[in-house]
Structure 1
Amino acid sequence: MKLFLVLLLLLATETKLTLSVDKEALPATLSKNLQPLLAPQSFRVNDASGQALLTFWIRKEIPLEATKDQIENGVTYREVVPGSLIGCLEVHQQWTDFRKQTIKPGVYTLRLAIQPMTGDHEGTAPHQDFCLLCPVEKDISVEAVGLEKLVQLSSKVTGTAHPSVMLLFPVKKLAELKEPKLEEPMTSVQTLVLVRDAAAEKMKTQIGFAFTVEGVRKD
């Protein structure tokens, strides 16, 4: 019984993440074309020992394709311009993405992608919305990237035919989200939840993001 309790304590400790929000310079390896798009505010996710695991820098204003009604009713990931730059990610330690793929330490861009509704993808994730990690040295366009090219670009991170994926969960009660936080939307999954300014032409609004920082799909 004592051993069982010790194991439970160890498991709880291993999955205890913390969040630090600060102002931090953008990675020098990020393209100078992209740097002006991102805010210098950093969101650092630390592991149980307090060591940095992931650091995010998010775009100042997220580009939308939305109508006035959609803006008034609240936008979702589906109104974000597909393939657009969402932010930059520094992976400080070896990290496992939602597909159980190993991601090496380094700096990556994050671009939005919607998983196609095809049979081979059915049931692989609870949601279809993702950010794809792309090699920072090869991603220099301020414009949105088409899905086929984006998948090819992200696949260079994994060295396989599959892109590296960061699952996005829907953000509920956006108006109540006063500051960034870590949240557990489902068992054994942790997300970084934050709000960003967004715009469709001259129409301004806000959008929430919930990036999966820990957790993998269940086979």
Structure 2
Amino acid sequence: MSLRFLVVLVLGTATTAAAQDSYKLEKLNDGPPAGLAPAIKETLEAGGYRVLDPQGAPLVDVWLRKAAPATGEPAGSKGAILYPVLTDGELLGVVKYAAEAGDYRDQTIPPGAYTLRYGLQPVNGDHLGVSVNRDYALLLPAAKDLEPADLPRKKLEQQSAESVGTSHPGILILLAPPDPLPEGPSMVNDQMLNTWGAVLKLPLKVEGKPEPVVLPLQLVVVGAKTD
């Protein structure tokens, strides 16, 4: 089965890739895509990032939120949750796929723009062995996600399922960033997971802090769970 393009965050076992056949990440000066709700668009950074395949073709563009609300400063994981400072249903940013892609379940993601929201994998028998942690980013059709406020779980899952046209949400697994962090925009390859990821920094709004606090993330753009 061929690799499918998706967005997830990868574990620190990944290594920075420098080979000629590697995927690349570059800064994007273009603003967020057209068609976003005004309330969503105004929360996003002015510039984004573009992931290029080994032939230099665009795969997916990413715009992060300027200041994503956080319950506190990042202080590591908590049990099976890597990002306990984030809230279930919270808006993280927007992505725009240049071509048909796939999510972590290998569900088809049509080209277009989607909001990206944080979510936690349910603790039940249906999800045993899916991932080592519970953190996910869920894709929602940008045309239907109109306000940046946190979404309740039921609405989050229902709208996310519309992004892939199935009964299951369109999910992009969130994993830990590499350690140490690369300097500047970088792609990393995790040979164990067979994934490629973009190392990004999400600004957080933390009470009592006058400036945003950075939360490093790794956004995987190639690979899917196959077992």
TM-score bin, normalised by smaller chain: 0.7 to 0.9
**TM-score, normalising length: structure 2:** 0.82
What do residues 55-91 of structure 1 show as CA deviations (whole Å, max 9, x unaligned)?
000001121113xxxx274575221122111111000
**Does the alignment pair 1:94 with 2:112?**
no
Which of 170, 183, 191 is residue 188 of structure 2 equivalent to? 183
Cα distance change on mapping 1:118 and 1:72 into 2, 3 Å: closer
Moved more, 198-207 or 160-169: 198-207
Tell whether the 8 Å contact from 2:120 to 2:134 is kept in structure 1 after alignment: yes
Match of 2:225? 217
Q: Letter of the 1:57 partner, please give it.
A: W
Instruction: Please give the per-residue CA displacement for 1:160-217, whole angstroms capped at 9, x wherever unaligned.
Output: 110111111112447x443221112334111111112212322352211112211111
Cα RMSD for the two superposed structures? 2.1
Amino acid at match of 1:169: L
Greater relative CO (CA pairs within 8 A, separation 6+): 2
Distance 1:149 1:17, change over 3 A: same
Number of equivalent positions: 202
Q: Are residues 1:129 and 2:135 paired?
A: yes
**Given the superposition, is the C-alpha separation of residues 179 and 117 from structure 1 closer, same or farther in structure 2, using an over 3 Å criterion?**
same
What's the CA shift for 1:23?
A: 1.1
Amino acid at match of 2:152: G
Q: Which residue pairs with 1:27 in the alignment? A: 33
Aligned ranges 1:7-156 → 2 under 5 Å = 16-66=22-72, 71=73, 73-74=75-76, 76-156=82-162
- Check the 8 A contact 1:27/1:107 in 2, yes or no: yes
Cα shift readout 1:109-148 (whole Å, capped 9, x = no counterpart): 1000010111110101233211111001100112011111
Letter paired with 1:205: V
Question: Which amino acid in the other structure matches residue 125 of structure 1?
Answer: S
Q: Which runs of 5+ in 1 are unaligned?
A: 1-12
Work out the CA distance in 1 between the residues paired with 2:99 and 2:133: 26
**Alignment-mate amino acid for residue 204 of structure 2:** A
Q: Distance in 2 between matches of 1:216 and 1:72?
A: 27
Aligned partners of 1:35, 1:198: CA distance in 2, in Å? 17
Structure showing greater Rg: 1
Name whichever structure is richer in helix by fraction: 1
Query: Contact 1:54–1:89 at 8 Å: present in 2 too?
Result: yes
Specify whether residues 32 and 178 from structure 1 end up closer, same or farther in structure 2 by C-alpha distance, changes over 3 A only: same
Contact 1:191 1:211 in 2 (8 A): yes
The structural deviation recorded for 1:18 is 1.5
Gapped regions of structure 2 (runs ≥ 5): 1-18
Rounded Cα–Cα distance in structure 2 between residues aligned with 1:88 and 1:79: 20
Separation in 2, partners of 1:171, 1:32 = 31
77-86 or 183-192: bigger deviation: 183-192
Identify which range, 72-81 or 190-199, moves more after superposition. 72-81
- In 1, distance between residues paired with 2:154 and 2:61? 27
How far apart are the structure 1 equivalents of 2:74 and 2:123? 28
